């Protein structure tokens, strides 16, 4: 089992930060590969198919976010029980998470499949978009929703193993799943050999089948190989005490993710009022952004652990230094990426859209402009992710949620609407508004961080909690300090936590 090294609280900061960040980046890169593979092959089918993905995902993500918060709760609870050396309880809560989320996923699968046409009907769209793209999005969504339980099987496995302290095993399983998806995509989309040409439905089926294999491998690890929490089949029987803990801890995370999903749907509802090439460029640009933001996301989630461990050790100044170092490193890396994106947007976008048609050429043009404008956001995205990671690591998850919402619902959604429709800037207004969200969020989060109240408040609450616990549980195993619980849980969320990450499938 992989444990956090003690050097997190001693010696230099860059070394342990890198050790924490790189596995997270690898797993996220593998996750994004799903998006890139679908976009790459569907881009060779038609520009409309790429546009259909950009319509389908926000609606899919809304339902995923409802259950996603509870996988985070599983990571928190397993981390706490494992840290307290209560391995039996860790296995019991792992079993409860598996059964609870599986039942919830089955319900959401049915709801999503039945409500696909109704959800798409809520999106106001131009006539051409309605005729060309929405039917394709419906085909994709129906297949995807039927396989939703397989998707959550892997999410649950990853969160439980992360809470247990093992991130390498999920990474290996993820690699197998991604490799399978990359192979199946062209076979099922275009029809090769014995495989039928299923077009966009083939992309959905390839993803679902690949996730099903990953879920099977994950459950083998949990129930047969016993490489994670000591979970048994009997632990799947519902226990109201554990279920209450899962709901109590999972609901706040679900609210944040659902608000992010609603922001995505609102933005999509605005974008679909443009012509199909703009819709396709929006979806393609967002998938490229999800790839570009990987270093920022990895550093942000590594900061969770750096801050949590150092505050737990009573080293608040070291925790603060870790945040500023991560912000500087992230900003430097993203500055280089921004220069490349600003100078060469057309070749980058063209890689993912090779169809020789007028619609494809228009999509590349819009997509290149989108990427060039959003490159101004890259440095600020790194700062925002690190600051949010610092707040979460300190246990101030409500503060992190507030600034995440500021970026989305103050900086992005109203700005896109004003620039695109009120100011009459059209598609360019959408691109600018998307970039301004992270810029505003980063500035606000960084300014609030300099006040230092995040560490003072947590230390006081922690001390009081420890004092109470020492009076009531003197003879029980020591439980992990309060900041470590959200650190374990949020160091690498299964689902997008902020706008930057929520733009991929």
Q: Are 297 and 26 in contact (CB under 8 A)?
A: no
Sign of CA dihedral 141, 143, 145, 151: negative
Q: How far apart are CA 342 and CA 372, in angstroms?
A: 5
Q: What is the C-alpha to C-alpha distance for residues 409 and 389, in angstroms, rounded to an integer?
A: 20
CA distance 390 to 369: 33
Q: Do residues 51 and 42 make contact, with C-beta atoms less than 8 angstroms apart?
A: no
Mean pLDDT computed over 134-163: 86
Torsion of CA 176, 37, 191, 177, to 10 degrees: 10
- DSSP reduced 3-state for 353: coil
Percent above pLDDT 90 for the chain = 25
Q: CA-CA distance, 478 to 481, in Å (whole number)?
A: 9
Find out whether 159 and 249 touch, Cβ atoms under 8 Å: no
Residues across the chain = 505
Confirm whether 500 is domain-assigned. no
> Is residue 225 predicted with pLDDT exceeding 90?
no
pLDDT at 387: 92
Among 99, 75, 44, CA closest to 485: 75
Q: What is the DSSP string of 149-190?
A: HHHHHHHHHHHHHHHHT--HHHHHHHHHHHHHHHHHHHIIII
342 domain-assigned? yes
Retrieve residue 166's tokens: 């093992």
Residue-wise pLDDT for 54-72, tens only, equals 788 878 888 888 777 787 7
Range of the domain at 338: 12-470+482-490
* Structure confidence at residue 478 (pLDDT): 36
Would you say 132 and 280 are in contact if contact means Cβ atoms under 8 Å apart? no
Q: How confident is the model at residue 79 (pLDDT cuts 50, 70, 90)?
A: low
Contact (Cβ atoms closer than 8 angstroms) between residue 359 and residue 277: yes
Tell me if 201 sits within 8 A of 137, measured CB to CB: no
Q: Please measure the distance between the N-terminal and C-terminal CA atoms of the chain and give it in whole angstroms.
A: 29
140, 52 in Cβ contact below 8 A? yes
Close Cβ partners of 106 (under 8 Å, ≥ 6 residues apart): 149
- Structural domain contains residue 2: no
- Which single residue is written with the structure tokens 């620039």? 419
Q: Which two tokens stand for residue 159?
A: 């969160």
- Residues 385-397 have pLDDT tens digits of 999 877 776 667 6
Q: Is residue 291 part of a domain?
A: yes
> What are the tens digits of pLDDT across the range 17-65?
777 677 778 887 887 777 778 788 888 888 788 888 878 887 888 888 8
Q: In 10 A of CB 10, how many CB atoms?
A: 12
Look at residue 498 and tell me if it is in a domain: no
Give a yes or no: residue 43 inside a domain.
Answer: yes
Report the C-alpha gap between 282 and 427 in whole angstroms.
9
| pLDDT at residue number 355 | 54
Q: Is 50 exceeded by the pLDDT of residue 465?
A: no
d(CA 123, CA 485): 39
Report the pLDDT value the prediction gives residue 187, as an integer from 0 to 100.
93
Spatial distance between the Cα atoms of 190 and 187, rounded to a whole number of angstroms: 6
Q: Report the distance separating Cα 412 and Cα 500, nearest Å.
A: 11
At residue 127, the pLDDT reads: 65
Digit-coded pLDDT (tens) for 386-428: 998 777 766 676 787 789 889 999 999 999 999 999 999 999 9
**CA separation for the pair 394, 319 (Å, rounded):** 9
Q: How far is CA 497 from the centre of its chain?
A: 5
Give how many domains the chain has, as a whole number: 1
Average pLDDT, the chain: 78
Q: Kindly report the CA angle at 325 between 324 and 327, in degrees rounded to 5?
A: 65
| pTM for this prediction | 0.68
**Mean pLDDT, range 291-318, rounded to an integer:** 75
Q: Is it the case that residue 502 has pLDDT exceeding 60?
A: no
pLDDT in tens, 229-272: 788 888 888 888 888 887 877 777 777 778 887 888 899 889 88
Q: Is the residue at 3 inside a domain?
A: no
Look up tokens 């900003």; give the residue. Answer: 331
Q: In this structure, is residue 115 part of a structural domain?
A: yes
The pLDDT, as a whole number, for residue 477 is 38
C-alpha–C-alpha distance, residues 185 and 415, integer Å: 37
User: Position of tokens 């974008």?
Assistant: 271
CB 388 within 8 A of CB 404: yes
The secondary structure of 387-401 as a DSSP string is: HHHHHHHTT-HHHHH
Burial class (CB in 10 A: 0-12, 13-18, 19+), 79: buried
pLDDT at 372 > cutoff 50:
yes
């Amino acid at each position: 089992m992989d444990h956090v090294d003690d050097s997190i609280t001693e010696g230099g900061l860059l070394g342990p930060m890198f050790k924490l960040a790189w596995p997270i980046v690898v797993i996220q890169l593998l996750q994004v590969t799903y998006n890139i593979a679908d976009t790459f092959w569907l881009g060779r089918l038609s520009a409309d198919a790429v546009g259909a993905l950009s319509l389908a995902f926000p609606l899919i993500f809304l339902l995923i976010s409802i259950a996603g918060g509870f996988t985070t709760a599983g990571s928190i609870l397993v981390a706490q029980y494992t840290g307290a050396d209560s391995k039996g309880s860790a296995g019991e809560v792992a079993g409860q998470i598996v059964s609870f989320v599986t039942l919830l996923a089955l319900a959401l699968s049915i709801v999503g499949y039945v409500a696909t046409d109704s959800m798409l009907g809520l999106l106001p769209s131009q006539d051409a978009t309605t005729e060309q793209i929405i039917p394709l999005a419906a085909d994709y969504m129906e297949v995807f929703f039927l396989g939703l339980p397989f998707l959550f099987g892997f999410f649950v496995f990853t969160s439980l193993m992360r809470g247990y302290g093992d991130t390498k095993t999920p990474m290996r399983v993820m690699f197998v799943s991604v490799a399978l998806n990359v192979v199946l995509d062209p076979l099922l989309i275009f029809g090769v050999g014995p495989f039928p040409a299923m077009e966009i439905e083939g992309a959905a089926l390839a993803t679902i089948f690949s996730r099903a294999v990953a879920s099977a491998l994950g459950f083998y690890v949990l129930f047969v190989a016993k490489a994670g929490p000591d979970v048994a089949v009997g632990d799947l029987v519902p226990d109201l005490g554990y279920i209450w803990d899962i709901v109590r801890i999972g609901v706040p995370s679900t609210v944040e993710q659902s608000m992010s999903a609603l922001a995505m749907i609102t933005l999509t509802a605005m974008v679909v009022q443009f012509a199909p090439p703009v819709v396709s460029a929006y979806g393609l640009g967002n998938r490229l952004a999800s790839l570009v933001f990987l270093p920022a996301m990895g550093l942000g989630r590594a900061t969770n652990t750096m801050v949590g461990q150092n505050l737990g050790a009573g080293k608040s100044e070291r925790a603060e230094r870790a945040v500023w170092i991560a912000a500087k490193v992230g900003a430097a890396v993203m500055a280089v990426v921004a220069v490349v994106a600003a100078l060469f947007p057309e070749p980058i976008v063209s890689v993912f859209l090779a169809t020789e048609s007028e619609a494809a050429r228009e999509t590349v043009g819009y997509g290149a402009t989108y990427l060039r404008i959003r490159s101004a956001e890259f440095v600020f995205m790194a700062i925002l992710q690190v600051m949010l990671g610092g707040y979460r690591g300190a246990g101030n998850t409500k503060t992190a949620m507030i600034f995440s919402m500021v970026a989305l619902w103050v900086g992005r959604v109203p700005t896109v609407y004003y620039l695109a429709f009120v100011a009459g800037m059209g598609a360019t207004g959408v691109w600018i508004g998307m970039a301004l969200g992270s810029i505003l969020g980063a500035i606000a989060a960084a300014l609030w961080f300099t006040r230092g109240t995040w560490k003072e408040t947590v230390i006081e609450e922690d001390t009081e909690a420890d004092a109470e616990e020492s009076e009531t549980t003197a003879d029980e195993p020591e439980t992990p300090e309060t900041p470590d619980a959200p650190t374990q849980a949020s160091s690498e969320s299964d689902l997008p936590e902020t706008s930057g990450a929520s733009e991929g499938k």
